[in-house]
Amino acid sequence: MREELFVSGRNIPNIDPYLNIWHWQIPIYLFLGGVAAGILFFSGIFTILGKDHKMRTTVKVAPLLVPFLLVFGLFMLFLDLKHKLYFWQLYTTIRLESPMGWGAWVLMIITPISILWSASYVREIFPGWDWKFDILKTFESWLIKYRLWIAWPMTIYAVILGIYTGILLSAFNARPLWNTSILGPLFLVSGMSTAAALIIMLSKDHKERKIMGRIDILLILIELFFIVHLLMGFLAGSEAQINAASLFLGGKFTAPFFTFVVFLGLIFPAILEIFELKGFKVPVYIPAILVLLGGLIFRFIIVEAGQITRFLY
């Protein structure tokens, strides 16, 4: 038997009895970042493939939301900072070793790109829109002319942003649940799946919904595979990693994780989407909302559970 206690009576807020320094702001930010990355990726890739007329909502409508998602996500990050007035120092330093450092720079690049991208479609979506100044009109026609040139870096940065939401966590060696390289791809796929769900909700074109539905089913299957892969990897690891996996396999996060994330957030909506593709009448909102909520709850669970896991000594 082994028992450990603080004889000096340590009880530091948010550190003891277990770490809880990152609260609700971080999972919301990771969720919004993932959705934004997914939308920009789909919009960019369908433009590159020359399908922008067939996929109107994906390429033109959904990206209009992205600047708002990203700015709101950044605001969440700002709320998380405890020394808020010093936040600008993120942008007076370049520290490539720090995932949060280069993440801040990725956001600084992709947010303006997303604003330019949506600006080039505003008049197409809202025909009554008037840019008022001639210089803005010239700028808009320049943007429209070079759309393909913007699409390439945007697609690449979208993938980086999506992976970054996972790497932000996986770079912490001290938290065994997060310290796995599968977390980056897992968060990327999950972000793309939630983005596909949002596009399905927004789209009124049956054909487009069908294509995005198929993509979403594929992404959900990959995500389920990654989750199994994640847990199997932990079970084959050190004691600290086995403890991390046991939080989901009998521990305190088992019920919420398997109920809300795996079943209601992935398996059930995938079944509904398959039914819809087979021709059954399923209201599109139901699987889409389930996928979005599942993605959000997934990030809340991973952020909170990861902080509980630690090295044993």
Partner 1 sequence: MRYGMAIDTRKCVGCSDCVVACQTENNVPLGFCRDWVVEVVDGTYPNVSIELRSERCNHCANSPCVRCCPTGASHFEDGGIVLVEHSKCIGCGACIEACPYDARYSHPDGYVDKCTFCIHRVREGNNPACVSVCPTSCMYFGDLDDQNSKIVNVLKNRKFKSLAPEAGTKPQIFYLV
**145 binds partner 1 per the rule CB under 8 A:** no
Residues 6+ apart with CB under 8 A from 120: 140, 143, 144, 147, 150
Pick from 50, 53, 86, 132: which binds partner 1 (CB under 8 A)?
86
Pick from 69, 104, 217, 305: which binds partner 1 (CB under 8 A)?
104
Looking at the Cβ atoms of 19 and 224, the one nearer to partner 1 is 19
Looking at the Cβ atoms of 237 and 256, the one nearer to partner 1 is 237
Site string for partner 1, 209-238 (x = CB under 8 A): -----------------------------x
- Taking each helix axis as running N to C, give the angle between helix 66-80 and helix 25-48, from 0 to 180 degrees, rounded to the nearest 10: 150
The whole-angstrom separation of Cα 285 and Cα 291 is 10
Looking at the Cβ atoms of 92 and 128, the one nearer to partner 1 is 92
**53 binds partner 1 per the rule CB under 8 A:** no
Site string for partner 1, 161-200 (x = CB under 8 A): ----------xxxxx-------------------------
The whole-angstrom separation of Cα 70 and Cα 108 is 10
**83 binds partner 1 per the rule CB under 8 A:** yes
Nearest approach in angstroms of CB 111 to partner 1 is 17
The whole-angstrom separation of Cα 41 and Cα 159 is 7
Nearest partner of 309 among 266, 258, 246, 250, judged by Cα = 246
Pick from 24, 68, 72, 87: which binds partner 1 (CB under 8 A)?
87
Structure-token match 């599109």, residue found:
284
Residues 6+ apart with CB under 8 A from 277: 210, 213, 214, 217
With contact defined as beta carbons under 8 Å apart, do 51 and 59 qualify?
Answer: yes
Nearest approach in angstroms of CB 74 to partner 1 is 13
With contact defined as beta carbons under 8 Å apart, do 57 and 200 qualify?
Answer: no
262 half-sphere exposure, CB direction, 13 A CA radius: 16
Pick from 21, 144, 148, 255: which binds partner 1 (CB under 8 A)?
21
Pick from 50, 53, 84, 206: which binds partner 1 (CB under 8 A)?
84
Determine the interface stretch with partner 1 among 14-22, 42-50, 193-201, 248-256 (rule: CB under 8 A): 14-22
Structure tokens at 196: 């596909």
Nearest partner of 240 among 164, 172, 168, judged by Cα = 172
Rg (CA), the chain: 21
Nearest approach in angstroms of CB 161 to partner 1 is 16
**307 binds partner 1 per the rule CB under 8 A:** yes
**99 binds partner 1 per the rule CB under 8 A:** yes
Q: How many other β-carbons are positioned within 10 Å of the β-carbon of residue 17?
A: 10
**203 binds partner 1 per the rule CB under 8 A:** no
Looking at the Cβ atoms of 90 and 305, the one nearer to partner 1 is 90
Q: What is the contact surface with partner 1 in residues (CB under 8 A)?
A: 1-16, 19, 21-22, 80-84, 86-87, 89-90, 92-93, 95, 97-101, 104, 171-175, 238, 307, 310-313
